[in-house]
Structure 1
Amino acid sequence: MPRVLARVSALLTAFLLMVSAAPAPRADAAALDPFTGYLMAHFIGESANGEQLYLAHSRDGLTWRDLNNGAPVLLSTIGTRGVRDPALVRSPAGDRYWIVATDLRIASGTSWSDAANRGSTNLVVWESRDLVNWSAPWLINVAGAIPGAGNAWAPEAIYNHATGDYVVYWATNSARNGVTKHRIWYVRTTDFRSFTAPQLYIERPGTQGLIDTQIVEVPNSVGGYRYYRASADGHITIEASNSILGSWTTLGNLSHLGISNGTGGGNVVEGPMWAQFNGRNEWALWLDQYATGRGYMPITSTNLGSVSNFRTRTDYAMGGTRKRHGSILNLTAAEESRVLARWGTSTPVRRIQAYTHQDRYVRHVNYDVRIDPNVNPAQDAQFRVVPGLANASGNVSFESVNHPGYYLRHYGFDFVLAANDGSPVFAADATFRQVAGLGNASWSSFQSYNYPDRYIRHYDYQLRLDPVGDTQARNDATFRLTS
């Protein structure tokens, strides 16, 4: 009996050693709750505040509404202090999210040539646990190790079930085999902080460059493949694969729809952006009609295995802002509820009426601020009274209606309408405490957050930030918020 026990013990020990030595199988996360809505991350253009992070929401995947009153949701305060081409990424378990974006701000005066050849090789990243509270941004220098890299543009990221990490891919302009052009490179990461050495991912023949590409994973391999990617490479080329880092099969392009990225003429587009419609096997490929300035349009398909299955759509609406290259995330009910609670409520539009000249209202003109009667266009005298940028408790800021993301701020004790640059100084200069009117307690006065001995007042019809030491000053510092 002892000999038998010894043999069993030895066999058990050997078995345990074999099990411990074998690699643990990767188990995909449990399926997420059913999707009920859609979230689009995007930028809006090269305006002063256009290259920042904007969000839009849709219930049906075709009709979009701007969130946060059309103002940016996140501002980049690092790198070039601007972001373009944001990609929304969810972990398989749905318990963590990232935004990865191009570190680029053309509105700062950077030329396209400088941006492409001597630009940032970093990407900007934010992280969240709930999709509404985001970390401070950080930079990852993904292209720094590429010889002669001039930039890092249009990033995307997708979870790779085969390796249990994320593939981050983007375009870099650099010389290779005697040809300088944009190619797609990739790294792998688990945390969007540390990453592998960059590897070449997609290169087109000859001098043809490639900047924009996006991959979608298709459940149940509808159309015969698990992954499909659309790339702006002169045409909009559609490819398919069963492995993100494996070989890809070219299915064709969209020239039969009169759509190209320039080589084929017709409707010239860029920024391909995939989204599956919730609850059904149908996909939209959104394309930015940048050549004509018309913004995104969708084409749809119920079978991505052949480009002939795509059809154009006209039953869509993009909201108030022009949406530039971004990405779409399908939302669970819980995610949708959190997003709409934070950014979905529309703040009422208000005018700021002067107490001493009740036919005059605060308005901006050429970004200067004054009080005028009969303001035309009316939106120049309309603002959204939002929680104070520097301190939301008992404080307010005034956001322009026709220039979302621009606020009334004092500068040298004069007032201007300026784009929020994300700095603490801007936030403080644009924040005020609403108190009982100094000239009439049934009206309001607005005390400066960072100069509490000064108030918003008009003088010779110009808006200023002044001390109020006499009756005239107190009356001039009294206003009423009206509809």
Structure 2
Amino acid sequence: MPSRSRWALIPLISALLLTLLARPAAAADPFTAYLMAHFTGESATGEQIYFATSTDGLHWTDLNGSQPVLMSAVGEKGVRDPSLVRSPAGDKFWLLATDLRIASGKGWDAAQHAGSTKLVIWESADLVTWSAPRLADVAGSIPQAGCAWAPEAIYDPETGDYVVYWATISPANGVDKARIYYSRTKDFRTFTPAQLYIDRPGTQGVIDTQIIEVAGGTGGYRYIRASGDGQISVEGSNRVLGAWTRLGDLSGLGLTGSQVEGPVLHKFNDRNEWGLWVDQYASGRGYLPLTTTNPAALSGYRIRGTGEYALGASRKRHGTILPITQAQLTALTAKWATATTGTTRLQSFNFTDRYVRHADFDARIDASVSPAADARWRIVPGLADKSHVSLESANFPGYYLRHSDFDFTLSPYDGSTAFAADATFKRIPGLADGSAVSFQSYNHPTRYLRHYGYLLRLDEITTATGRADATFRAVS
């Protein structure tokens, strides 16, 4: 039985334990770099997701050799205006984007008035490995909604969920124009019905709203938002869904809504300074940075000179900037350092000027492939059997050559057994030349990858022509 002195120690030990348990956990890794997600324009692959990183928030390095890192194979099979969202705990990320592909030839009128009312959403735990894209029909309940553009989201501590907001064009109250609507969500899968968020008087529309939380309420406001409404207007509020005060616009700097769009706000990691980037869409020059020490005071914004920033090789259109840690920067760089390192081209045996390539998710053999990275592949362990191989796109990591009904497409791996089998091949000596290579189907072993009419197919091979069509040379 403990002595009285030992009993006396128990309250002291308990108090010490409570103190240790109440002590704050070790600080999270500091933000030392930045990740930008963006699209580049209306080219064949321009309306997809591109990544760039920076260590100072002004000078950017393209990832994946200036090629897309994520591709949308859902909805309109194109995405614009991406937005990165971090959970409060920093353990989950979402990427939201407009479901739109102008390069398909649909035209702007159809895009505005008969376009998709859905958002494209990816999610990730580490910014490196992303889910397959999915659609969320956030604007479908808005009467005569014509689109759902430039989605953004911000965590609302008052309600413990996220406010997702976007622009929809619809003829509400007899006026057909763009307004900002919002929904709430906890998981980016289930959304509350859309509600009107921002409207401007008369016929003036409003698009491209972005909100940032300002720690400490610099300038007297906890939240600052920028929108395109004929100008790039800046507003302040102390609540996400509260009353907002107009603080001014960028017209004093010679930047109006007819010249720039897609404002992106962010804070620099190492100093009391904020950036406001605007997309120079009218001149086609991509993003232009402005900086300030008080985002609520329009007189303090300064346009950075051309020698003060660098955007990398690709043109950067309406995107998003997220602060990241050194570990996240290292992982992103390792994943997408270049598009072609360790890759191979597959040269046709009987059409030696042509190479296996992807084009708009189709698979074929072409000469003079542009961009050249479309004809580069990583020959990786088979998804269904590691003793065999799969063909992963060099410039679209996570996308593989896969047959379906004996036709080939470039498709994102969905984790299914069926996909893995369809994308796995036995690499064998070339059917027409043993020094070359042929690819025998894993799940249809009597069939081989071959070209026919320059398109890739999975066929049974019974003739000399078929053997030549099914033979390739792996070249650098």
Per-residue deviation, residues 326-345 of structure 1 (Å, max 9, x unmatched): 21211123333433343335
User: Shift of residue 285 of structure 1?
Assistant: 1.5
Please state whether the residue corresponding to 1:171 is helix, strand or coil. Answer: strand
Would you say 1:167 and 2:163 are equivalent positions? yes
Which residue in the other structure is 2:3 paired with?
none
Instruction: Identify if the C-alpha distance between structure 1 residues 412 and 101 changes in structure 2 by more than 3 Å, giving closer, same or farther.
Output: closer
Match of residue 318, structure 1, among 311, 318, 335:
311
- Distance in structure 2 (CA, Å) of the matches to 1:278 and 1:139: 33
Match of residue 376, structure 2, among 383, 389, 402:
383
Match of residue 213, structure 2, among 201, 213, 217:
217
Match of residue 96, structure 1, among 89, 92, 95:
92
Match of residue 139, structure 1, among 135, 138, 141:
135
Which residue in the other structure is 1:277 paired with?
268
Please state whether the residue corresponding to 1:238 is helix, strand or coil. Answer: strand
Instruction: Identify if the C-alpha distance between structure 1 residues 429 and 192 changes in structure 2 by more than 3 Å, giving closer, same or farther.
Output: closer
Instruction: Identify if the C-alpha distance between structure 1 residues 319 and 355 changes in structure 2 by more than 3 Å, giving closer, same or farther.
Output: same
Per-residue deviation, residues 391-429 of structure 1 (Å, max 9, x unmatched): 69442437487x9999988999999xx775889999988
Instruction: Identify if the C-alpha distance between structure 1 residues 329 and 361 changes in structure 2 by more than 3 Å, giving closer, same or farther.
Output: same
Correspondences of 1:214-293 after superposition (within 5 Å)? 214-262=210-258, 268-293=259-284
Correspondences of 1:36-435 after superposition (within 5 Å)? 36-262=32-258, 268-313=259-304, 314=306, 315-344=308-337, 346-348=339-341, 350-352=344-346, 362=355, 379=372, 383-385=376-378, 387=380, 393=386, 394-397=388-391, 399=393, 433-435=426-428
Please state whether the residue corresponding to 2:190 is helix, strand or coil. Answer: coil
Q: Contact between 2:67 and 2:339, CA under 8 Å: does it hold in 1?
A: no
User: Shift of residue 241 of structure 1?
Assistant: 2.0
User: Shift of residue 439 of structure 1?
Assistant: 6.3
CA RMSD of aligned residues (A): 4.2
User: Shift of residue 126 of structure 1?
Assistant: 2.7
Consecutive unaligned residues in structure 1, runs of 5 or more: 1-27, 263-267
Q: Percent identity?
A: 56
Q: Contact between 1:44 and 1:322, CA under 8 Å: does it hold in 2?
A: yes
The TM-score normalised by the length of structure 2 is: 0.77
User: Shift of residue 142 of structure 1?
Assistant: 2.4
Instruction: Identify if the C-alpha distance between structure 1 residues 383 and 236 changes in structure 2 by more than 3 Å, giving closer, same or farther.
Output: same
Please state whether the residue corresponding to 1:336 is helix, strand or coil. Answer: helix
- Distance in structure 1 (CA, Å) of the matches to 2:374 and 2:249: 48
- Distance in structure 2 (CA, Å) of the matches to 1:179 and 1:460: 52
Residue identity opposite 2:177 in structure 1: K
Residue identity opposite 1:301 in structure 2: T
Q: Which segment drifts farther, 294-303 or 48-57?
A: 48-57
User: Shift of residue 346 of structure 1?
Assistant: 4.2
Please state whether the residue corresponding to 2:252 is helix, strand or coil. Answer: helix
Instruction: Identify if the C-alpha distance between structure 1 residues 388 and 257 changes in structure 2 by more than 3 Å, giving closer, same or farther.
Output: farther
Instruction: Identify if the C-alpha distance between structure 1 residues 320 and 179 changes in structure 2 by more than 3 Å, giving closer, same or farther.
Output: same
Q: Which segment drifts farther, 244-253 or 188-197?
A: 188-197
Q: Contact between 1:69 and 1:404, CA under 8 Å: does it hold in 2?
A: no
- Distance in structure 2 (CA, Å) of the matches to 1:392 and 1:295: 44
Residue identity opposite 2:107 in structure 1: S
User: Shift of residue 107 of structure 1?
Assistant: 3.5
- Distance in structure 2 (CA, Å) of the matches to 1:400 and 1:410: 18
Please state whether the residue corresponding to 1:223 is helix, strand or coil. Answer: helix
Residue identity opposite 1:117 in structure 2: H
User: Shift of residue 224 of structure 1?
Assistant: 3.1
Instruction: Report the count of equivalent residues.
Output: 445
Q: Contact between 2:44 and 2:103, CA under 8 Å: does it hold in 1?
A: yes
- Distance in structure 1 (CA, Å) of the matches to 2:444 and 2:100: 34
- Distance in structure 1 (CA, Å) of the matches to 2:205 and 2:108: 15
- Distance in structure 2 (CA, Å) of the matches to 1:217 and 1:420: 38
- Distance in structure 1 (CA, Å) of the matches to 2:469 and 2:182: 60
Q: Contact between 1:352 and 1:381, CA under 8 Å: does it hold in 2?
A: no
Q: Which segment drifts farther, 67-76 or 37-46?
A: 67-76
Residue identity opposite 1:343 in structure 2: W
Please state whether the residue corresponding to 1:222 is helix, strand or coil. Answer: helix
Please state whether the residue corresponding to 1:334 is helix, strand or coil. Answer: helix
Q: Contact between 2:422 and 2:442, CA under 8 Å: does it hold in 1?
A: yes
- Distance in structure 2 (CA, Å) of the matches to 1:472 and 1:419: 25
User: Shift of residue 44 of structure 1?
Assistant: 3.0
